[in-house]
Amino acid sequence: MQNGLVRFFEIALIATVVFLNGWLIQTPLPDDWGTSELDKYSQAVGDVAFLDAYLKRNPNSWEACFARAQAYAINGIWSEVASNCDSAISLRSVMSGNKPEPKIYRLRLKALYELDDNQAALKDLDFLMQSENAKSEDLAFHSLIKRRLGQTDQALDEANQAIFRDAKCAEAYLSKAWVLLDLNRTKDAFENAYQACKLKPNLVMPYVIMAAVFNEKGETAEALVQCKNGLLCDATCGAVYWQRGVAEDKQQKFEDALTSQNMALSLATSNDIRAQAFAARAVTLSHLNRSELASEDCDRALALDPGNAIAKAVKQQLRQDN
């Protein structure tokens, strides 16, 4: 009897220590080495994997949700960024006595902007503007969204305010450059884009704006150089292909231009770029005398952006030709 008990205790002890090993080996602990040396993709993968496991054990941690959103943002998986920010915000709001955390709203609005969900992004921006934590970067985003929504004057005003607040905010110059480009003030647009580029060389959009200005001036070779620079920053940016197509169209390489506009459309994430690419493709198609297709593209562009001047002009031209 006593031997049996001892044996049972012995086996239970063996099972317990072995189980503890098995259990602990699956428990996430902070990855304390080497991640800084990894490329950004591997780092983000490791972070997300770790946080997945961590959140299973700590489902109420808003910090972990936010950290996961940041990890997804490294690779531009914006839908995941937005949903993780949602979770972080709701978890934090449940915890009594905690004020809303601006950095979560800031990241979510960036994700929403990338996902072309302008109204939702505006809500987050309004929240940030009302709080005391608004930064120049927030104003710049506000300006960008207002521009997308066609409120050009307000957009310009906010971009100026953002620059006034922080003269080293690249996003502020970028938003101002966009608005000025819309207003056909190409020289000013170029200067602001150039400034943004100097402040943050890895931003792709300043290259797009500079290419657009060169295209306006008919300096297509220069425009193509800017497109090449832009693609080195971000090969998935449809807007770069849009301007490359415009330059190729001006060089009368219509087939190449058509390809570039198709690539722009295959990579477009927002309706403003989509509308511009459809309009630019309509121009090229009209040059190729494919009027019916050009007209269809004009309709698509106008459906996305009723104020698109190029689409209107091409449509008008096509009507006259017929």
Considering only 2, 4, 27, 292, the residue that binds other proteins (CB under 8 A) is: 27
> Considering beta carbons, is residue 143 or 308 the nearer one to other proteins?
308
Binding positions for other proteins, 7-26, rule CB under 8 A: 10-11, 13-15, 17-26
- Please state the closest distance from residue 70 (CB atom) to other proteins, in A: 14
Judged by CB under 8 A, which stretch of 29-37, 121-129, 143-151, 161-169 contacts other proteins? 29-37
Q: How many CB atoms lie within 10 A of CB 90?
A: 11
Does residue 89 come out as left (phi exceeding 0), alpha (psi in the -120 to 50 range) or beta? Answer: alpha
HEC string of the chain? CHHHHHHHHHHHHHHHHHHHHHHHCCCCCCCCCCHHHCCHHHHHHHHHHHHHHHHHHCCCCHHHHHHHHHHHHHCCCHHHHHHHHHHHHHHHHHCCCCCCCHHHHHHHHHHHHHCCCHHHHHHHHHHHHHCCCCCHHHHHHHHHHHHHCCCHHHHHHHHHHHHHHCCCCHHHHHHHHHHHHHCCCHHHHHHHHHHHHHHCCCCCHHHHHHHHHHHHHCCHHHHHHHHHHHHHHCCCCHHHHHHHHHHHHHCCCHHHHHHHHHHHHHHCCCHHHHHHHHHHHHHHHHHCCCHHHHHHHHHHHHHHCCCCHHHHHHHHHHHHHC
- Please state the closest distance from residue 258 (CB atom) to other proteins, in A: 7
- Please state the closest distance from residue 294 (CB atom) to other proteins, in A: 15
Per CB under 8 A, 46 contacts other proteins: yes
Q: How far apart are CA 302 and CA 269, in angstroms?
A: 17
- Please state the closest distance from residue 236 (CB atom) to other proteins, in A: 4
- Please state the closest distance from residue 37 (CB atom) to other proteins, in A: 6
Binding positions for other proteins, 58-87, rule CB under 8 A: 72, 75-77, 79-80
> Considering beta carbons, is residue 71 or 159 the nearer one to other proteins?
71
Please give the size of the binding site for other proteins, defined by CB under 8 A.
Answer: 57
Short-list 261, 274, 269, CA closest to 301: 274
> Considering beta carbons, is residue 20 or 167 the nearer one to other proteins?
20
Binding positions for other proteins, 200-239, rule CB under 8 A: 231-232, 235-236, 238
Considering only 52, 168, 307, 321, the residue that binds other proteins (CB under 8 A) is: 52
Judged by CB under 8 A, which stretch of 46-54, 85-93, 94-102, 184-192 contacts other proteins? 46-54
Per CB under 8 A, 50 contacts other proteins: yes
Binding positions for other proteins, 235-294, rule CB under 8 A: 235-236, 238, 255, 258-259, 262-269, 274
> Considering beta carbons, is residue 110 or 176 the nearer one to other proteins?
110
Chain residues that interact with other proteins, rule: CB under 8 A: 10-11, 13-15, 17-29, 31-34, 37-39, 41-42, 45-46, 48-50, 52-53, 72, 75-77, 79-80, 231-232, 235-236, 238, 255, 258-259, 262-269, 274
